[in-house]
Amino acid sequence: MMNSLKNKINALPFSAFFRGHIQIRPIQDDYDLWYAVVECQLAPGQEEFVNPAGFSIGRAYLNPQDNIPCVILKDDLRIGYIVLRTWCDDKANSWSYYISHEHQGRGYGKAAALLAVQILTTADPNTPIKLSTEKNNQKAQQLYSSLGFHHDGELDGDDLVFVYRKGPSHDLS
């Protein structure tokens, strides 16, 4: 398991997990786990767009080498959760995440997504990143496009797949 995503991410310096006031930190204790699974909540109507945190974190429990459950923090305040993971075909990396409803609309989701791209491209620079979203989740599609992801027609079931390939034209600032 030397080349697992977990090993690659664990090899990164501490500074790689920060972007301004936003930090992605692996779940460290019961408080982080409780926050991610219970306290971090979507706004009504958003549930149809993402899997519950418990599902993503459960998948991490079943395959810990390729799924790293984390909390998203602004300064020291937990504001969301994210699971950095290997895409189902092992030829890409991915993540599942959301920002808790009381912290949405402040740019934290985009900042966390930029940080996730930074972490994954630093840990595994030759592997593309894939994200999937429901066809009617326009906000996610706009966000992914603004980050340099492209939908090239691939589907994951009914979901649209967006692909990011690190290149000179992608500026993550």
Count CA atoms within 13 Å of residue 40 on its CB side. 28
Count CA atoms within 13 Å of residue 43 on its CB side. 6
Give the pLDDT score at 173.
54
The answer on pLDDT for 171 being more than 80 is no
Q: What is the pLDDT of residues 17-72, one digit of tens each?
A: 999 999 999 999 999 999 999 999 999 999 999 889 999 999 999 999 999 999 99
Q: How confident is the model at residue 3 (pLDDT cuts 50, 70, 90)?
A: confident
4 alpha carbon, distance to own chain's centre = 17
